[in-house]
Chain A
Amino acid sequence: MSSTLHEPVSGKKADGVFRGVAYACGILILVVLAAVAVFLLVQAWPLIGGNQADVSETIASFTGGRSTNFWSYVGPLFFGTVLVAALALVIAFFVSIGIALFISHYAPKKLATVLSGVVDLLAAIPSVIYGLWGGLVLVPSIYPFWNWVAETLGWIPLFSGPAANPPRTVATVALVLAIMILPIITSMARDIFQQTPKLLEEAALGLGATKWEMIKLAVLPFGRSGVISASMLGLGRALGETMAVLMILAPGMRYSIHLLQASQNQTIAANIAAQYPEANALGVSVLIGTGLVLFVITFLVNLAARRITSKASVKK
């Protein structure tokens, strides 16, 4: 009786339990990521440790006999993935910086708030809808444009014609991916631009700079690292995008940069989704192997983005 009076409920036990649970959840993140790597490696192991003759037979059945070796299989896929994502980033980068500047510095305040909301909403639209739109609306209507590009710029190998009709080509896919990552880059760039210290902006304007000069002097240098990491995130998204590519692109397995011709390239992610339903156990192993390659690419891109941002934040 007296002991309960003198020793109030300490809650030490609950404290310890809570701490333990939180700690476990932190550790769980490490475990999960390790599990991702381990499970994928275990499933992909037959590629290395299994019967090599079977492996090459499986790969030959995927490619119609064109390649029998894993690396010669994943090579064109890797090339296609990087090509499509890089093109998408190039298209989206300047446009999204333009939009971000428009929202943060040019648009009237009320319009800017509305636009910010719309951009955030667009960033959440599922990729399958972009794929649907690309396949059913963009592909039928964009052929005249690509045809014009092929005729006028055909002397550049990139645009050498004849333009495929229907244009289920890398160019169209890159355009759709650019539209998809546009809101993502825009919303991050806008957040950074809006944080530019007012003092810097006013100092530039006070020295007689025009609005564009002010942006060039104050806003862009301030937002540079943020914009770079935003575009890296966009690149990561484009690298891993499956559905839009799967629904639009006519796949091929070449190292080709003829953007306007069909059946030239394929991306890793879309290839997995396309081959997966008909793959046998070993086929799934091969596809998981390509998935690991994709994982490594996106990992490196994200790591680079993180390096850039952390370097910039140290400097401040």
Chain B
Amino acid sequence: MNSPSQQNTGTPVGRGSAAPARAADEAPVIDFDKFKPTRSHVAARKRKDLFMRVLIVLAFAIACIPLVSVLWTTLARGFRRLNWDFLSHNMTNVIGGNPTPSGGYGGILHAVIGTLEITLGAMVISIPVGVLCAVYLIEYAGKSRLADAIHLLVDVMSGIPSIVAGLFAFSMFALLAGPGTLNGFEGSVALSLLMLPTVVKTTEEMLKIVPNDLREASLALGVTKQRTITKVVLRTALPGIVSGAILAIARVIGETAPLLMTAGYIVSTNANLFSGQMTTLPVYVYQEYSKYRANCPADASDGCVTSIPMERAWSAALVLIIIVLILNVIGRVVARVLAPKKK
């Protein structure tokens, strides 16, 4: 690394300055212009820089088109049939494209109830288990081989395709409760399988960033480990855990495939999670989509709309997006509000 010093002394020599008495005379004469980038080279680099900049902005712009289109069409087409009647009725007494006695065209009350109950069931199963599993991994297991194995399996679990989770719940209930069982709780089991790894991972991340000083201070005061964990560690990590859990819920609330085969599909409201089929919003969207067109007999009234299934599908999709959005916002707000005050 002596080239910089050579350069420093060499530059005046190279330029042929008049200092004959200096020992630097013997230093090799370096033509530094040789190392100067040519103008075309600089221009090429600049061009490339500009080219990549344009490419990156272009990638962003192109990607925006479909994503904006998804949101926009859902909003625009969803609002057409979204009213109180749609939210407060189920699909009983809906015949073809004819309006129901209440003046609407059927609704999603049963699907909203089903979605909320099934997701709640999944929450009740997966959040306590997930949080405690993370507590075990961080607070108790250390670097044991069991912890490594659990880490690996949590990763594997997060990659389970949702339809396989559905098949699992279906097979489990077929073996334990008799073949062909369909109920809401079965759907909860399938969803909790999908939620569990997310909860474990986010909780783990949150527990990792709890400062060790807090644990040591608490233990040094003679507090037992259990109390240290529940009152100090988990309390400190609470905002992160809550927002992670909410984001996990937002992920599974839109799952369709596992619920198609576990919770089934009915047109009437079923509020019992443990018996009978249940409809959820995503399944409702899919079912309406696959109906394609409603029947309007020749003597039907003017109110008969053949394209009503698609319009219902869009409105239900809009409600679903709104629920997901609200959950996301709540998750973020909770994280901010509950965050421990910084000095």
Let me know if A182 is at the binding interface, CB within 8 A.
yes
Main secondary structure of the interface of B (DSSP, over half): helix
A179 to B74, alpha carbons, bound, how many Å?
16
B257-296 interface mask toward A, CB cutoff 8 Å, 1 = contact, 0 = none?
Answer: 1001100000000000000000000100110011000000
Let me know if A23 and B136 touch, CB within 8 A: yes
Residue picked from A101, A132, A288, most chain B C-beta under 10 Å: A132
Which chain B residues (313-337) contact chain A, with CB distance < 8 Å? 313-314, 317, 320-321, 324-325, 328
Let me know if B139 and A25 touch, CB within 8 A: no
Residue picked from B132, B171, B179, B260, most chain A C-beta under 10 Å: B171
Which chain B residues (143-196) contact chain A, with CB distance < 8 Å? 146-147, 149-150, 152-165, 167-168, 170-172, 174-175, 179, 193, 196
Q: Which of the residues A11, A18, A106 comes within 8 Å of B56, measured between beta carbons?
A: A106
User: How distant is A238 from chain B, measured CB to nearest CB, in Å?
Assistant: 10
Stretch at the interface among B3-11, B64-72, B95-103: B64-72
User: How distant is A112 from chain B, measured CB to nearest CB, in Å?
Assistant: 11
Let me know if B163 and A294 touch, CB within 8 A: yes
User: How distant is A135 from chain B, measured CB to nearest CB, in Å?
Assistant: 7
Interface residues on B, range: 35 or more
Let me know if B162 and A126 touch, CB within 8 A: no
Query: Please, which residues of chain B bring their CB within 8 A of the CB of A10?
Result: 224
Residue picked from A25, A95, A131, A276, most chain B C-beta under 10 Å: A25
A299 to B153, alpha carbons, bound, how many Å?
10
Let me know if A30 and B149 touch, CB within 8 A: yes
Let me know if B226 and A15 touch, CB within 8 A: yes
Let me know if A12 and B261 touch, CB within 8 A: no
Let me know if B132 and A29 touch, CB within 8 A: no
Let me know if A35 and B172 touch, CB within 8 A: yes
Q: Told that A22-B136, A246-B257, A302-B159 touch, could you supply 5 new A-B pairs with CB distance under 8 A?
A: A35-B168, A39-B175, A95-B59, A127-B254, A236-B161
Q: List 12 A-B contacts (CB under 8 A).
A: A15-B225, A19-B226, A26-B136, A99-B63, A126-B255, A129-B70, A129-B317, A131-B289, A133-B70, A136-B310, A240-B162, A243-B257
